[in-house]
Copies of this chain bind each other. A is one copy, B any other.
């Protein structure tokens, strides 16, 4: 099983990048700089080089703005400077907006002036082809040599919202009706146009952002790095990211450990999308199911769409978290209640089973045409009576079986707003349980509702399905708190760790040494010795040709089952004629075939468990985990088995006995511990692993190993 394209434990790019904790301050200049130089500033109306200057002035940035242009003429009424070095010290952030051919000189100028961070907005770099890539590498090397961090090139800039630090030429900030909406959520996007489009939608829905950054080509600073810096700001309540590459497992693990809810829209799920991403920013592909597994494992919510990303941002803005997956639905619309129940099921949450006491209480409040079972249809009559509505809400939210509430309304009119918001807000506050609202009705029917709901900490969505999806994300980040970062690699490994060679006997010997159960057996030295070997393993054996480079042994006639002492000699001769040794192993029958593998990926080694044997390719039903797992969140063999149909195959079915699942779990655990001593970057495929009836253990029937660097 080959996962991803990289043959090393982490991407070469990530490994080559030095540790940069000391540079954190540089990245923070994106929102905390006290002075900004705009290199390539222009006074011409509408010119890109004028827009950042205008934006900084328009949105109230209180720091210094230094337009830089060769002729020193004023820009937007501000005096300009002929170089960054000529600006009053110290320039804390530079925007470079000159043509690609003049960027190198601008970078030199910034370095000479001691600028800690420059945003290169200019295009004409890696996105244009090999020549541009060379230019980008040159610029990056020059900045690194000078100790300056770079954002971009080919980006639209960044915004420190609280301070009006709009270091961006996005047309969003030119819009007559545009107003910044400050808040505690960070938004980082590798893509510029899409990123600022999403930011405009966030502001439009009232989702306040504190930090907005576009990283473009990511010659130096990456979106993940910026997200990590933002997550470490105490006021930050969550970070949303759009990325096209995901191969920096060190930063990803640090980001997941920062204790803030994180949502990531990783584009390139499909191979078509990955090809598009590769041509867009040269991002290396990471197999999508590895991305899925890694993010889920790290507690990062994966969004599929810009709208979902923003929906999660709305949810992160409230501090209440569900303690479990049991959801109560309160509604005045039976239809909305059913749709919410469907969505709860689809997202792996549970419709809470309300207690008898709760049902009894609700029976005294809710009229016959409502419903006191979950989904609870309180009816419009109850909603219109604050005392009754509060009693119904209290009964539901105080039920110990309820971890969160989805409240669904349709046409809310202006007269409903205060009742709905007061009732829900009070119940949420008092109980500490999250309440998310679906409001399936036009805004104009109650224009104040959106603001009032937001102010009360009630994330609101247009449909039950979207509210439930956001709650599912909230459930995924419910346990997030700062913790130690798990190491990004299994171990340094010993140079001599792992199997000596990839032949089946050597590999099985290494597995046996590691404590893994392999079939009894040995190499036979002659036809006569084969008879003895067959006898040693119980009189019925499998004989296998051991020929270097012969991968598909079975198809080549290199495997013979059910060999007895009588047929041993002749079989030996036939297999030996293939040009190698002959392995004699005990014959194992009657098990369920599993697959256990470890393969490198751009995010590090990935453990795979699933259906093995002939079903491997047909069903492709596997569970994945990044290695190593968190110290405080151990990887569970059982969970992986249950994620696949293996769980059902191993259980006792009608007329069959159960298989030895505990032995399989133990074997997987043993393997994961053993390979810590193996050199990183190897690939190991145990398939099939026969899981025998309960009490009889497992056996690794076949195995393949590819040493590091040989893929």
Which A residues lie at the B interface, using CB under 8 A? 123-124, 127-129, 132, 154, 170-172, 174-175, 177-178, 189-198, 200-201, 203-204, 242, 244, 265, 267-273, 275-277, 279-281, 304-307, 332-339, 341-342, 344-346, 351, 368-369, 371, 373, 375, 377, 380, 409-411, 413, 440-445, 462-466, 552, 554-555, 614, 617-619, 645, 648-649, 653-655
Count identical subunits in the complex.
Answer: 2
A334: chain B residues at CB < 8 Å are 191, 193-194, 276, 280-281
Complex Cα–Cα for A276 and B380 (A):
18
A272: chain B residues at CB < 8 Å are 341-342, 344-345, 351
Q: Distance in Å from the Cβ of A420 to the closest Cβ of chain B?
A: 14
Whether the pair B411, A197 counts as a contact (CB closer than 8 A) is: yes
Indicate whether A335 sits within 8 Å of B273 (C-beta atoms), given known contacts A201-B441, A369-B128, A440-B306.
no
Indicate whether A369 sits within 8 Å of B440 (C-beta atoms), given known contacts A193-B335, A335-B280.
no
Complex Cα–Cα for A332 and B368 (A):
56
A344: chain B residues at CB < 8 Å are 270, 272
A175: chain B residues at CB < 8 Å are 413, 442, 444-445
Q: Distance in Å from the Cβ of A309 to the closest Cβ of chain B?
A: 10
Indicate whether A304 sits within 8 Å of B335 (C-beta atoms), given known contacts A193-B411, A200-B411, A272-B342.
no
A351: chain B residues at CB < 8 Å are 272
Complex Cα–Cα for A193 and B154 (A):
49
Complex Cα–Cα for A464 and B305 (A):
8
Whether the pair A203, B442 counts as a contact (CB closer than 8 A) is: yes
The 24 sampled A-B contact pairs (Cβ below 8 Å) are A127-B369, A128-B369, A171-B411, A171-B445, A172-B445, A177-B444, A191-B334, A193-B336, A193-B380, A194-B334, A194-B410, A196-B441, A201-B440, A270-B346, A271-B345, A272-B344, A280-B337, A280-B377, A305-B463, A306-B339, A552-B654, A552-B655, A618-B648, A618-B649
Nearest opposing residue in chain B for A439, CB measure: B197
- 7 new A-B contacts, CB < 8 A, other than A193-B410, A272-B344, are A177-B445, A201-B441, A272-B341, A276-B334, A280-B335, A307-B463, A307-B465
Partner of A333, one of B171, B172, B191, B617: B191
A380: chain B residues at CB < 8 Å are 193
Whether the pair B196, A410 counts as a contact (CB closer than 8 A) is: yes
Q: Which of A307, A552, A653 counts the most B-chain CB atoms under 10 A from its CB?
A: A307
Whether the pair B373, A279 counts as a contact (CB closer than 8 A) is: yes
Complex Cα–Cα for A267 and B336 (A):
9
Nearest opposing residue in chain B for A651, CB measure: B618
Partner of A341, one of B124, B132, B276: B276
Nearest opposing residue in chain B for A410, CB measure: B197
Complex Cα–Cα for A660 and B593 (A):
26
A645: chain B residues at CB < 8 Å are 618-619
Nearest opposing residue in chain B for A344, CB measure: B272
A371: chain B residues at CB < 8 Å are 276, 279-280
Q: Which of A154, A351, A552, A555 counts the most B-chain CB atoms under 10 A from its CB?
A: A351
Whether the pair A368, B128 counts as a contact (CB closer than 8 A) is: yes
Whether the pair B335, A267 counts as a contact (CB closer than 8 A) is: yes
Complex Cα–Cα for A170 and B442 (A):
13
A268: chain B residues at CB < 8 Å are 338, 342
Q: Distance in Å from the Cβ of A383 to the closest Cβ of chain B?
A: 11
Whether the pair B305, A466 counts as a contact (CB closer than 8 A) is: yes
Whether the pair B154, A369 counts as a contact (CB closer than 8 A) is: yes
Q: Distance in Å from the Cβ of A185 to the closest Cβ of chain B?
A: 17
Indicate whether A307 sits within 8 Å of B462 (C-beta atoms), given known contacts A178-B444, A267-B338, A342-B268.
yes
Whether the pair A242, B341 counts as a contact (CB closer than 8 A) is: no
Indicate whether A341 sits within 8 Å of B273 (C-beta atoms), given known contacts A178-B444, A197-B440.
yes
Nearest opposing residue in chain B for A305, CB measure: B465
Complex Cα–Cα for A175 and B443 (A):
11
Whether the pair B341, A654 counts as a contact (CB closer than 8 A) is: no
A177: chain B residues at CB < 8 Å are 444-445
Whether the pair A273, B440 counts as a contact (CB closer than 8 A) is: no
Nearest opposing residue in chain B for A337, CB measure: B276
Partner of A200, one of B129, B441, B614, B655: B441
Indicate whether A411 sits within 8 Å of B123 (C-beta atoms), given known contacts A276-B341, A335-B244, A338-B267.
no
Complex Cα–Cα for A342 and B276 (A):
9
Whether the pair A375, B276 counts as a contact (CB closer than 8 A) is: yes
Q: Distance in Å from the Cβ of A241 to the closest Cβ of chain B?
A: 12
A201: chain B residues at CB < 8 Å are 440-442, 462
Complex Cα–Cα for A281 and B371 (A):
11
A123: chain B residues at CB < 8 Å are 369
Nearest opposing residue in chain B for A334, CB measure: B280
Whether the pair B617, A200 counts as a contact (CB closer than 8 A) is: no
Whether the pair B440, A338 counts as a contact (CB closer than 8 A) is: no
Whether the pair B619, A345 counts as a contact (CB closer than 8 A) is: no
Q: Distance in Å from the Cβ of A672 to the closest Cβ of chain B?
A: 26
Complex Cα–Cα for A201 and B441 (A):
6
Counting from the closest, the 9 A-B pairs by CB-CB distance are A191-B335, A197-B410, A270-B345, A194-B335, A193-B333, A200-B442, A280-B334, A197-B440, A273-B342
Whether the pair A276, B200 counts as a contact (CB closer than 8 A) is: no
A345: chain B residues at CB < 8 Å are 269-273
Nearest opposing residue in chain B for A191, CB measure: B335
Whether the pair B466, A307 counts as a contact (CB closer than 8 A) is: yes
Complex Cα–Cα for A345 and B409 (A):
34
Q: Distance in Å from the Cβ of A359 to the closest Cβ of chain B?
A: 13
Complex Cα–Cα for A514 and B271 (A):
47
Nearest opposing residue in chain B for A100, CB measure: B369
Partner of A342, one of B129, B198, B267: B267
Whether the pair B271, A189 counts as a contact (CB closer than 8 A) is: no
A443: chain B residues at CB < 8 Å are 204
Complex Cα–Cα for A373 and B555 (A):
41
A265: chain B residues at CB < 8 Å are 339
A124: chain B residues at CB < 8 Å are 368-369
A193: chain B residues at CB < 8 Å are 332-336, 380, 410-411
A552: chain B residues at CB < 8 Å are 654-655
A242: chain B residues at CB < 8 Å are 335
Complex Cα–Cα for A480 and B380 (A):
40
Whether the pair B129, A335 counts as a contact (CB closer than 8 A) is: no
Partner of A276, one of B306, B338, B441, B654: B338
Q: Distance in Å from the Cβ of A128 to the closest Cβ of chain B?
A: 4
Complex Cα–Cα for A336 and B280 (A):
11
Partner of A465, one of B276, B304, B441: B304
